[in-house]
Amino acid sequence: MLDLIGKGSAHTCNGVTRRDFLQVGSLGTIGLGLPTLMQARAAGMTDKSKDNRSCILIFNLGAPSQLDTFDMKPDAPAEIRGPFKPISTNVSGIQLSEILPRHAQIADKLALVRSCFHRGAAVHDAGWQIMQTGRLFSGGINTPHAGSAVWYLRGPRGDLPSHVVLPETMGRGGGNLPNGQAGGFLGKAYDPFALMADPSKENFKVPDLLPPSSIPAARLDRRRRMRTAVEQSMTQFEASESARLMDEHFETAYRLMTSPQARDAFDLSKEPVAVREKYGMNRFGQCCLLSRRLIEAGVRFVTINTFLTVFDEITWDIHGSKPFTSIEGMKNIVAPMYDQAYAALIEDLADRGLLGDTLVVNLAEFGRTPKVNPAGGRDHWPQCFTVGFAGGGVRGGQVVGASDPIGAVPAERPVEPPEIVATIFHSLGLNLETTLPGPAGRPFPLVDSGFREIRELF
């Protein structure tokens, strides 16, 4: 493996180091071979007119209650419907919760799927995995995140990586399972670039984006030239496909560290104060703004985690009693922050003419129990929940599917995670019939057989 910066690194919450990102090429990645990669990229695209499409995936870590947000049941008994009232939106016939007033103003741009469910365990990381990869974690096979699959099939645009996670990858979920935010069997070269910083903080900078001060740019360039000289002396290796694939990943990391384009994309100080305040001067709000800047700069896929873990912070995980969030905490803290930033993002993308080519997806690991528990909260419920789409060719102002009268199970048009991931790939113009190089080099279907995109959305 090749290392640009030598010793010294910061660790992410899942044990992957920033140094790993710059150790370009791993056994799993190099084993793919350049012809395999090039053939996959040629076969993986069905609609070249969508090459400029991008995706922002917002993961509502902790899982919002469908009955208190996007799928209100005002006629249900009090212990089912909860404390909040539905409000009208700018689309006739679609109502949302009163705790999401800004969503109501942009409902014409949103498409809600109210009939999602999955067959995984009712634990957070099982849901994180299946919702971001389209597959349960089983048999030791770690399926790549949808953004990592896009990176493999499409490659980068410019100096920035194809997939960025903001503000960092997820932490613990309680089930000791992979969180779904990695390159999986594609190798570490397709792990997303994680910000590892809070963009709402004063003097925000991206750790390790630029060469460390202990390694001047001239020395970094000397290392690059030394590497070239060494490889030129290794005639046989240089001629191999593995070496050329390694070169591609080395160049990606090198460009990222030295690129003015990358520095500008991550520089929120270039945004007017009024724009930053429109999104909200909090971590999630500034991550949403940063995602727009990254998409403008050429990043293909941005994943935003609304929170980093369900432990020790207020999240959508409204069990009702400490250390978890209460329904009041969701109403007064979580929902206002989310409502403001999400609406600002959709409006900003639309005003800049970017929404048509930017799919914005809102996912969560599951829903919440139809019945309010004795602590005044709701517990984990994979049997039914709502996800949302906007932009990227999706027709706004509609609802797909429906839950039963108490929001417990799908009543119309059940939707499973493979269909959600397939919808992302379809919007980005990928061939759903293509394969990835899976474990032991065996072809691995991009989408499980029998599943397609949610066609009603387009």
pLDDT in tens, the chain (458 residues): 223 333 334 443 444 444 443 443 333 344 445 556 656 666 666 677 899 999 999 999 999 999 999 999 999 999 999 999 999 999 999 999 999 999 999 999 999 999 999 999 999 999 999 999 999 998 899 999 999 999 999 999 988 999 999 999 998 888 889 999 999 999 999 999 999 999 999 989 887 565 555 556 665 566 566 556 555 555 554 455 455 555 555 566 667 777 888 889 999 999 999 999 999 999 999 999 999 999 999 999 999 999 999 988 899 999 998 888 999 999 999 999 999 999 999 999 999 999 999 999 999 999 999 999 999 999 999 999 999 999 999 999 999 999 999 999 999 999 999 999 999 999 999 999 999 999 988 999 999 999 999 999 99
As a whole number of angstroms, the distance between CA 420 and CA 127 comes to 13
Residue 2 is predicted with a pLDDT of: 29
Select the CATH number that applies to the domain covering 2-457 from these four: 3.90.1640.20, 1.10.3720.10, 3.40.720.10, 2.40.280.10: 3.40.720.10
SS3 string, the chain, reads CEECCCCCCCECCCCCEHHHHHEECCHHHHCCCHHHHHHHHHHCECCHHHCCCEEEEEECCCCCCHHHCCCCCCCCCHHHHCCCCEEECCCCCCEEECCCHHHHHCHHHEEEEEEECCCCCCCHHHHHHHHHHCCCCECCECCCCHHHHHHHHHCCCCCCCCEEEECCCCCCCCCCCCCCCCCHHHCHHHCCEECCCCCCCCCCCCCCCCCCCCCCHHHHHHHHHHHHHHHHHCHHHHCCHHHHHHHHHHHHHHHHHHCHHHHHHCCHHHCCHHHHHHHCCCHHHHHHHHHHHHHHHCCCEEEEECCCCCCCCCCCCCCCCCCCCCHHHHHHHHHHHHHHHHHHHHHHHHHCCCHHHEEEEEECCCEECCCCCCCCCCCEECCCEEEEEECCCCCCCEEECEECCCCCCEEECCECHHHHHHHHHHHCCECCCCEEECHHHCEEECCCCCCCCCHHHC
> Where along the chain do its domains lie?
2-457
Residue 329 is predicted with a pLDDT of: 93
| 15 C-beta neighbours (distance < 10 Å), count | 7
